Each structure stands twice: as C-alpha cells, then as structure tokens.
Amino acid sequence: MCGIVGYTGSKDAYPILIKGLQRLEYRGYDSAGVALMNDKTTLHKCKGKVVDLQNHIGSGLTTGTAGIGHTRWATHGEPNDVNAHPHTSMSGDIVLIHNGIIENYDSVRKELIHRGYTFHSETDTEVLVNLIEEIKKSEACSLSEAIRKALNEVIGAYAIVVMSNSEPGTLVAAKKSSPLVIGIGPDKDYYLASDATPIVEYTKNVVYLEDGEIAEIIPGKDLKLFTIQKQNVTPYIQELELQLEQLEKSGYDHFMLKEIYEQPRSVRDSLRGRLNLAAGLVHLGGMADYEQKLLNANRITIVACGTSWHAGLVGEYLIEDLARIPVEVEYASEFRYRNPIITEKDVVIAISQSGETADTLAALELAKSKGATILGICNVVGSTISRTTHGGSYTHAGPEIGVASTKAFTSQVTVLSLLALMLGNKKGSIERSKFLRLLYGLNEIPEKIERALQTNDLVELISAKFKDASNFLYLGRGYCFPVALEGALKLKEISYIHAEGYPAAEMKHGPIALIDEEMPVVVIATKGPSYEKVVSNIQEVKARKGVLIAIVTEGDTQVKEMADYTIEIPETDEIFSPLVASVPLQLLSYHIAVMRECNVDQPRNLAKSVTVE
Ligand code: G6P
C-alpha cells in the first residue's frame, strides 16, 4: 500500500526519491508524486506508475537537497492527478505525504471550511495538511509543534512526512499504526521510508518510529524524537540485516519467478538452527519461552490475512494433528470486530509476511488487551507485528517483492511444521519414532522443492492450453485443501481469472454445477490417507466432462489414467505435502499470467503490505 520516501542532506534529493519509490513499487499503488525543497517547494504528481511520474516531470525542475515522495493506493477519492500525494496546504507553505486513513477527516474538513479553507482533492490527507497550517498560523509555532498539536486532534492511522517553506531542509515525520523507518547516513543525512528497502543502499543504521512518536529531522544534526504528548525519546538505532542484492531480480524476468525458485533456499533458511537431527529435537528460539503457555492454552487462535491465512490453515491441521491442542484460524478482519471470547489462557499467533497488515495487527492488539499471550510468525525483521508480540519466530525467507506471496507461504508453513513438531514432542503426543521420521522428512523438503521446480517446462506447456480459460476450480482434501485455496488465490491475483479453491468432497454441494468441458479443474491428488477419496472426486469431475489437471506423487498410475494432464512431484509425508504441492501451482499461475501479459509483480488493485483496514 502507500509508500513513503523522504531525504534531507547534502545530496541531490530527486534521484534518491525516485529510486526509493521504485523500490516501494512492490507494495501496490495507483499514483505517484514528489516534492522538492528549493527556496520554496516544487511539486510533481500524477496518476500511474513511477515511470509515468518521471515522464510527466520530463525536464521540469528537480533540484533540491530535501524532498519527499509518495506512491498512493487510493482509499478516499479515485486515483487521479489531484488526489495523488504530496498535498499542499492552502497557502502553499506546507507539503505532506501520508499513508493511512484519517477517520474524522469529515468533521475536521467542515471546521476548516468554516474557517475559510478550500479543498481541491477528495483526500483525507489534504484535510490534515490544512489542519497543521491552521495551527501553525494561529498559534505561531514551529512546524513540529503544529504537527504534534494536529495529531492530537485526528483519529485514525498515519505515517506522515512533512516539509515547510518556512523551515527549509527540515523534515518532520510521525507515525501511528502505519510503518515508518528513518535511516541515518554517515554525514547525518537522513533517509525515510515505509520500509527499509529504499534505505539499505545508503545506510544500515535505522530507527523504526514507534506509534505516537514524532521525529524532527535536520541534516547535520542529531535525530530528535518526541511523543505527541511532548515527552522526549532517545532514538534506538538498529542495524539492518537486509542485503541490497536481495532486492534485485538477479536475471529472472520477474520477482515472483525469482522468489518461486528461491524456495529450496528460503525453506532451508527457515529450518536452519531449528531442526537438530543429531540430537533429535526442534528448537524454535522465540517460541521456546512460551512453550508451556502453548501446551496449556485453552486454544490457539491463528489470525492472518490472504496467503498467510492459508498458511494458518495448514498450521491448524499440523498443530491439532501432532500436538493435540485445539486451534482456530481466523481472518484477522473478522476476529477483531466479532467480539471473540479470549482470555489469559489463550494464545493468539499472528502470521504475516510483512508484519504490517493493519487488520492482523489490530486483531493482535485486541487479544493482548484481553490478556492473551500473543506470538508472531513474521518475515520482515523489525516489523510492527514482530515488535508488538510477546515472542515469535521469523520465517527468514528474505525480502519478498512480488505482490503474490510464494516463498513467504512455504516458509510460514515450515515454521508452523517446526512448531507443531516441537509441541507434539514436548507433550508426548507423537511417538518418538514418528517424531524422528518427521524430522528427517522435513529436512528433505528443500531438496524435494528443488525437484518440484523441475516441472516448470511441463507446467508452462499446460499453462499455454489454459491461459484463455475464464474459470478454474482447485480441489484438495486434508492438508491439500489449503493448497487448493492458495493455488486458486495465486491464479486470481495475478492472471485475473476467476478461480475457486474447494475441499474436494464439498464440491458436490455447489461447484459441481459449474463443471463442463470448459472448466479446468486442478486436483491435488498426492499419496496420503485420502488418496482413494480424491480419486472418487476425480471420477465425479470426469463424469461431467471437466478438464483435469492433477498434481500427483511421482510414480502414480491411477490418477494418471484419468487426468488430462498430470504433474508429478516427489513423495513426502502427507503433513509436508503443502510445501511441495504448492510449487507447481505457483508456476501455473505465473506462466498463465505472463501469457496473458499481466503485470505479474504488481497486479492491479493489489498491495503487498495492506496497512489500512
Ligand atoms: C496482501 C498481499 C498478500 C498477503 C496478504 C497478507 O493481500 O497481497 O500476498 O498474503 O496481504 O499479508 P501479510 O504481510 O500479513 O502476510
């Protein structure tokens, strides 16, 4: 979602801002803009991509050693040039970029109109910039003090960066519920961004702004932090572990393809140091302190959104199966508004690649307020969710840039597998011999993913046959039901083909009515306890002339005879099948999207990091 960048120092700000906006493109957006500080502000903004902004600017004025830039994902008001950020105050003195939503913007707007302000855009952001101007004028205070007072009057979520003609070179930033990182350069030049990706090539020293904090940033001077209650805060400077190479495509056509191919490595990294075959144990550092809480919990609730919710479903199967602890998986957006019964005997685990998803964060905060132990499984180190939880484990998948999640999913499932094994072993609900067999099985998954990737050419051929389909049905049972959901989601997200994931047996209660010779049906029919049942479901599809694409275990003959196309993947224990079976489905959606000339890495309307509810 909206991306924020800022720079102030002695260098030319424009190239830094443009590169920063390009790094944030993966978050999803529909318009872009920059403001540069010369004697006064120069503003450029337009609907479209960063490249459209560059074309729009052409040979226009881009000088200045301080500036702010923004990619906007529309909430209030359609994507157009006027609604694009930055927004300026009525006098032109103040310019502001914003990620989030000001909920009481309407009442503030009416009050400002009453005081003579006029508005050009439909955005809540223009209201905030004018409120700051009104306070700055009427109270004759500094920019940072006016911002502090304004933020005490607004309700909602925000990360903002502000400049004023009256204080050239100064940037003021603030945050509540939306992320903001400040990089400190060697000469006390400052780089601001919604996440660390635009900052890493300039400095590794960063400060993650906390909710309710305001930063006054003046080049050459120390970073000054204070709260909206006016308490001074000592900046906590952290070192980034991110490497610049992780943010490049490394020869792949798309980030998504690179990330699909990274999975043997990313799953290995999720396992590293946690799975000890010699000692026959699993150690998940950040969870270990909460092991007793988890084992004695009334119930474990997993909250997540999108692909992470699908990983949560696999987690439910794993934890209930191996550790015999009741688990519920909830859409974070539903959980937070449905008055759930949560007590201090509950453990709530948030799963989030970005660690910034607004609904997931709010669900956790609700659970925390009710006394539950809250844990996180996040990918982005230092993200808000990872800082809000009592404990948790990082997935260590490395930065995921493609909007459609791939390697983050398999890493989340890997960590959930480790968690279920750790709890099952501790509780004694898995026999030792089975536990050890599963440890060895999990350890072999990266190599099996490598083999699953070798289906790529076949999957590409199959994709060519179905690229023009209007609908797809994905079926799976047991551990492969979440895989069916995830396969369907991937296709929808990046190729814009309608697809539904269904439990194979449940198909009879609805989707079967849709099946005819036009309907491709993807069935995950790997070897496992429900194999025979899935075979029966396949027959039901065939009887209605559905076109079958089956994911089967290497050496399968039965399904091969029935399916129109089969994709063979290595055999695993059933509980690890999602880790391997999802790979050809990721490839299928990728190739179909490429063949349909869709924007694979930045699909329309979607955002990588959904920081508004
Ligand atoms: C967005 C992304 C999805 C992601 C979901 C949850 O919808 O496009 O890829 O699965 O948010 O994000 P999270 O960062 O919390 O895992």
Neighbours of 500 (CB within 10 A): 19
Residue located via tokens 């003046």 = 218
Are 430 and 457 within one domain?
Answer: no
> Is residue 314 one of the residues assigned to a domain?
yes
Given 408, 443, 478, the domain boundary residue is 443
- Please determine, for residue 508, whether its predicted confidence score (pLDDT) is greater than 90: no
- Look at residue 607 in the predicted model and tell me its pLDDT: 84
| Longest CA–CA separation in the chain, Å | 81
What pLDDT does 218 receive?
A: 97
For 45, left (φ over 0), alpha (ψ -120 to 50), or beta? beta
- Looking at the fold, whether 88 and 223 belong to one and the same domain comes out as yes
Asked if residue 292 and residue 240 are part of one domain, the reply reads no
How confident is the model over 561-571, as pLDDT tens digits?
Answer: 999 999 999 99
Cα(122) to centroid(ligand 1), Å: 27
Contact 349, 300 (CB under 8 A): yes
Residue-wise pLDDT for 366-386, tens only, equals 999 999 999 999 999 888 999
Strands 41-47 and 87-88: unpaired
**In-domain check, residue 541:** yes
45 is catalytic: no
The whole-number pLDDT of residue 505 equals 86
pLDDT for residue 436:
97
Residues 228 and 276 in one domain: no
Query: What are the CA-CA distances from residue 216 to residues 69, 134, 174, 440 (Å)?
Result: 18, 20, 9, 53
Q: What is the pLDDT of residue 159?
A: 95
- Compute, in angstroms, the gap from residue 606 CA to the centroid of ligand 1: 9
Residue of the CA atom closest to atom 8 of ligand 1: 608
Residue whose Cα lies nearest atom 3 of ligand 1: it is: 306
213, 245, 277: which is the final residue of a domain?
Answer: 245
Report the pLDDT averaged over residues 526-555.
93
Please say if the pLDDT value at position 613 is more than 80: no
Stretch 265-272: mean pLDDT: 97
Domain span at residue 274 reads 249-443
Domain count of the fold of the chain: 3
Kindly report the number of other CB atoms within 10 A of residue 387's CB atom.
Answer: 13
- Euclidean distance between CA atoms 407 and 582, whole angstroms: 10
Is 606 or 34 the better-scoring residue by pLDDT?
34
pLDDT tens readout for residues 337-348: 999 999 999 999
Query: Beta partners for 503?
Result: 476
Q: What is the pTM of this model?
A: 0.86
- Check which CATH number belongs to the domain holding 467 and give it: 3.40.50.10490
Model confidence over 295-318: pLDDT tens digits?
999 999 999 999 999 999 999 999
Q: What is the 610 CA–ligand 1 centroid distance (Å)?
A: 7
Domain membership flag for residue 45: yes
Q: Looking at the structure, do residues 235 and 254 belong to the same domain, yes or no? A: no
190 lies in the same domain as 275? no
Active site residue 175: no
User: What are the two backbone dihedrals, phi and then psi, of residue 348, each rounded to the nearest 5 degrees?
Assistant: -115, 125
Residue 277 sits in the same domain as residue 139? no
Chain-centroid distance, C-alpha 482: 18
Q: Measuring from atom 7 of ligand 1, which residue has the nearest CA?
A: 306
| Co-location of 111 and 139 in the same domain | yes
130-152: pLDDT as tens digits: 999 999 999 999 999 999 999 99
Q: Which token pair is 300?
A: 């474990």
Whether 197 is in a domain gets the answer yes
- Among 226, 245, 264, where does a domain finish? 245
Q: Are residues 293 and 421 in the same domain?
A: yes
What is the average per-residue pLDDT within 219-223? 97
What's the CA gap between 378 and 70, in Å, rounded? 25
Same domain, 109 and 203: yes
Count the neighbouring beta carbons within 10 Å of the beta carbon of residue 460: 16
Same domain, 235 and 253: no
The band of 244, judged by pLDDT with boundaries at 50, 70 and 90, is: confident
Set 2, 305, 378, 598: catalytic member: 2
Specify if 195 maps to a domain: yes
Nearest C-alpha neighbor of 419 from the set 322, 329, 345, 352? 322
Alpha helices in 194-349 (DSSP H): 255-261, 263-271, 285-288, 291-296, 306-323, 332-335
pLDDT at 521 over 80: yes
* Per-residue pLDDT, 388: 92
The pLDDT, as a whole number, for residue 46 is 95
Q: Give per-residue pLDDT as tens, 385-409.
A: 999 999 999 999 999 999 999 999 9
How many Å apart are CA 78 and CA 562, to the nearest integer?
A: 49
Residue 81 DSSP class: T
Residue 246's pLDDT band, with cuts at 50, 70 and 90, is: confident
- 608 lies in some domain: no
Give the residue, 381 or 55, on which the prediction is more confident: 55
8 Å CB contact between 592 and 495:
yes
pLDDT band at 241 (very low <50, low <70, confident <90, very high): confident
Task: Return d(Cα 173, Cα 160) in angstroms, integer.
Answer: 5
When the pLDDT of each residue in the chain is averaged and rounded to a whole number, the result is 95
Q: Give yes or no: residues 369 and 463 share one domain.
A: no
Confirm whether 261 is domain-assigned.
yes
Distance 362 CA to ligand 1 centre (A): 15
In contact, 354 and 381? CB cutoff 8 Å: no
Residue 612 lies in a domain: no
pLDDT value at position 172?
98
